[in-house]
Structure formats: structure tokens, C-alpha cells
Amino acid sequence: MRSAALPLWLLTLGATLAAQESMPPLRLQPFELVLQAHWETLTDTTYHFEKNFALVRELAPAAKQATYGASHFEPLLPPDAVEVGALWRFDAAAALPFLRQLHAGARIELHADRGAGISAHGAWACLRSLTADYAEIALRVHAEFLIDGDGADRASSWFTPAQFRGRLALDRRNGRVVAFQLLVPPSRANVDLNMHTDDGTICDIGSIPRLELTSGGFPELPPDAKRLDERRADQVLERAFYPFADVEWFDLAAARKESRATKKPLHVVLLFGSLTDEAC
Amino acid sequence: MLNDSSVRELLRADFVNCWMLAKDLEPLAARSDEDLARLCKLLKANYGYPVDSVLVDADLTVRGHVNVHDENACDPASYVAFLRKGLADAGRTATAVATDKAAAGAAARHKGVPSLPLTLTPERPTTSHLDTFTARGFGQVSMSFLSIDATAFADGGTLEVEVRVGSGNASGRFELCAPADQPRGNGKSRFMQPVQEGVTVARETTQKLVHEFAKGDHFGLAVMPAPGTSEGETNAFLATVTIRKR
């Protein structure tokens, strides 16, 4: 029994390895994809900047609709053949053509950093699923919009989303991106605002319900497709930007319970925005 | 600063960690039992805009707080000191002591202080070294080199390096190196080269590297993140170096 099973096992393993080795890198052929832009008004601010500043209240997409081609998406793909769960870094500047459809002042330098190393710059991607026909990639990009001024300190106003999350579906049979989405994930505090005034720069934080570029229509993958759970993909991308995210972080009630049980002191970080994004 | 490996090790080992929006403290207090409401009030009383870290003992004694705008608040060494003081005030001892030493070693190296060679003698044939490795970005050096002085073993011996990698995410790659002669013009120059395949050591595992040598000399341990480590990932390692005489 054992001698009969072993060659079969070896054959199966060999076939799997051969399949992985022959899996070609993701490549694109010429195509066009139209993205629609959506920008809803900021809400839930602490200091009501959306009411006090017309500039904030009237923010809207630079272009409601724009067409993109293979050259725009190529830099987002993995440089080599990768498996589901693989993580790679790409040049955040590759996201700028997309972000400029939302606002011409898109920047990737993150002005709040000022060389201090407190901001998490860049862009990361991870392969979420792969079938013979389709590949799906999850993206995370940190960028912001210069909404007034020339970028100089004390003379500029900034709209800084917590993060941009992306989703890209590629049809491997014809090398076309068939669906794409780039959005600020909704949350109670997902935009930081720095407004230049005659009295100096003032700050607020709020929630943007929808700030998004989308093509719509993501393909349904077969139920047995190899895929990374969305929550796990979020974690992988989050830890790429913030290594401290691998420390266990509790909500306050759970933390209090754990502290009482273990007698370990609480270490509580209180913020104006989120610890694991750029909205604070 | 929270990304610093020594800070993370201390948080992981000795604290219960939480982050939250300061503006959620009041509503949470309003819907919580007396104990949690008291904690919310203590936190609110110790919060300063925009980011504040507060240490609270299990008996709800506040052991200190630091604001992001405080001097040196973003310096990892200062944050480690803040955490350690909070622990000491709470009457607790840090269990992440090892990493603290590792951080000190790493900090010294980053400031350009060369690490001293590990000198072994027949009287002191074993020693250990605690340090960290970090996957740095393109164009930045991720490899470090630990020099081992075994010149006191004139008749040769066996060099054993046991490497234990810490609980961070990153795996390390370790190469034992020995001097080799390279012809150069009419003479020759000496350089360090690996004497065996590099060994990858996964987190929380131990591996041993062994090298036989015929006469006393200088050796080295090259330390780097294992292939596939993401930029910024880091881990601590403990290298125990032993020489057995022939």
C-alpha cells in the first residue's frame, strides 16, 4: 500500500511544483478601462471645516470619468511570478495618474512628515487570488492632496486621507485589467485636514463616506479559487506599512480585562485619528 | 517610534496594548460599567492633543504619559525608558530585557560605533552577543558583521556559533566567515569569505554553525535578514560563540 501510494504522492507534488514553476508572470496587453470618480462631502468633523471652508465643502473629482491603459496598470503588477499571499512594493508615484483624476494636487511625499520619519510612505500590493483565468491584487497607497498653496509650510492647505485601498482584477487569458477600484475605506475618522489661514495652519479630522475611482463589475471567482481572505490581505498590507501592527492591540474593554487577568500594565495610545493609517 | 524593535518587544512582552480615538472615551464611559468608566476618565484626564500614550497599572494607577509633542517623544530609546519607568513604578520587571541590550548594541552601531570583536581565550572559551538585524531599503546596508578573535587558540580548534532568533517576524541568515588569501600583484591580500552555506534561522528557532580551524585567527559572523524579508522588518538574535581546543 505504502509503495503504491508514494509514487502517486510524488507525482502529485511534482505536478504541483511544475504548475507553479510554469506559472507565467502577470503581463498586460493593450486595452482601455474607464474609471468613474466619486467624491462625497466630508462629515463628522471635530471643528466643522466642511461648513467653515468652501474649499473643503466644494471638493469634487477633477474628472468624473477618465480612460486608462496598460501602461498605467503595469507598474502595479508583481515584477515576477508570485503566489497568492505574496507582497511586493511598488512606486507610489504609479498611483498618481489615478489620484489626479480625483484632484490635481495629488502628492506622495506626505507633508506632515517633514523628514521626521513619522509618516509611512509608499505603496504595497499583495496577490489576493489566482486562477487559470484571473488574478486579483489588493493595493494600499499613502498619498494626499494639496488643495491650496504651493506646498510650502504655513502657506498651503492639505487633504490627507487615511489611506487609499485598491483592488485590481486581471483577465490572464487576454492580459486585460477587467476591473479596478481605488478608494478611501470608509471609517469614522479617515481624513486629516490642514488649512492655511491668516492666523496660521489649523487642523481637523473627519469622515469621508465615499472617495473612490471605480470601473465596477469585478468577476466572480470560482468557489475553489485559491484566495487570501480580505481581512488577512488587509493585515498583510497594514504590517508592510506599520511593523508595530504585529503587536497584539486590544479594544479598551478587552485590554482592561486582559490587564486585570495578567496584572500587566495597560499601554494606551490615544489619538485624534487612527494609529495604523495617515489620518492623524 | 513604535516600529522600533526594542519598543515592540517590550510592548509585546510586558504590556497590554490598546489604541483608540480620544473622542471615543466619553461615549465609552457613558455606556460602560463603573470600572471601565473610571479607566476612561483617567485616560481622558491624561490625554493631550493630538497623540498621547498613557500607562495604567492593573489597579488603575496611572504610571505616566507622554505626548507626541514632548521632547524626544519620537526617539525609540526615550520611549523604551518611558515604558521601563512605568513598569518599575508598577513594581514589575521587564521580561524583554534581552532586546533592550540588543537595541543598545544596534543604536551604538547606527551611531557609527564599531562593535568590538568577541575575544575568546582558553580561559574564557565561550561568550555571547545580543543584537538585531533589520531589512533596510534599496541601497541601504542590511548586513552586519560580528568579528570573532580566536588568535589565542594557536593550535586551532572548533568554532561553534549557536544562533537563536527572537520573536519578531523576520528570519535571519547567518554566514560563518574565515580569512582567505587572494593573490594580488606580486603579493596577496586577505579577505573574509563564508566557509559554509549561509544558514537561515526562522523566528524563535536555534541553529548551530561549526567551523574547524588549524591555527588561531580572526573569524566572523555575517548577519542579514533572510531572503524574502520585507523592508523594515526586524528581529533580535543571540549568538553564543564557543571554541573547543583541539
Counted across chains A and B, CB pairs separated by less than 8 A come out at 152
Fold (topology level) of B115-245: Jelly Rolls (2.60.120)
Distance (Å, whole) CA B51 – CA A270: 6
Dump pLDDT digits (tens) for B95-109. 764 444 445 555 544
Amino acid letter, residue A280? C
Q: pTM value?
A: 0.64
Query: Looking at residue A4, what is its pLDDT?
Result: 32
Residue A61 covered by a domain:
yes
Angle between helices B97-110 and B76-89 (to 10 degrees): 160
pLDDT surpasses 80 at B90? yes
Q: Do A251 and B18 touch (CB under 8 A)?
A: yes
Print the domain residue range for A127.
Answer: 24-262
Tens digit of pLDDT at every position of chain A (280 positions)? 333 333 333 333 333 333 344 467 899 999 999 999 999 999 999 899 999 999 999 999 999 999 999 999 999 999 888 899 999 999 999 999 999 999 999 999 888 876 656 688 899 999 999 999 999 999 999 999 999 998 887 789 999 999 999 999 999 999 999 999 999 999 988 999 999 998 888 999 999 999 999 998 899 988 888 899 999 999 999 999 998 998 999 999 999 999 999 999 999 999 988 888 887 6
B131, with CB counted inside 10 A (0-12, 13-18, 19+), is buried
Q: In the beta sheet, which residues pair with residue A211?
A: A39
What cell does A173 get? 487569458
Gap between the terminal Cα atoms of chain A: 63
Query: Where do the CATH 2.60.120.510 domains begin and end in chain B?
Result: 115-245
Residues 190-229 of B with CB under 8 A from A: none
- Residues in B closer than 8 angstroms to A248, CB to CB, are 12, 17
Instruction: Say which of A243, A249, A256 has its CB closest to residue B3.
Output: A243
Query: Rounded to the nearest 5°, which phi and psi values hold at A80?
Result: -130, 180
- Residues in A closer than 8 angstroms to B234, CB to CB, are 243
Q: Do A240 and B230 touch (CB under 8 A)?
A: yes
User: Total domain count for chain A?
Assistant: 1
**How close A208 gets to chain B, by Cα (Å)?**
17
B70 in reach of chain A (CB within 8 A) = no
Q: Do A270 and B7 touch (CB under 8 A)?
A: no
Q: Is B18 helix (H, G, I), strand (E, B) or coil?
A: strand
Which H or E run includes B99? helix B97-110
ipTM for the complex shown: 0.73
Pairing of strands B126-134, B234-245: antiparallel
B50 prior amide bond cis, ω within 30? yes
**How close A239 gets to chain B, by Cα (Å)?**
9
Distance (Å, whole) CA A2 – CA A196: 76
Gap between the terminal Cα atoms of chain B: 48
B214, with CB counted inside 10 A (0-12, 13-18, 19+), is exposed
DSSP string, A34-63: EEEEEEPPPBS-SS-HHHH-HHHHT---S-
Q: Which of A165, A213, A170, A162 is nearest to A188 (CA)?
A: A162
Higher pLDDT, B130 or B54: B54
Instruction: Say which of A253, A268, A274 has its CB closest to residue B56.
Output: A268
Q: Which of A80, A266, A272, A280 to mutate to test the interface with B (most CBs of B within 10 A)?
A: A266
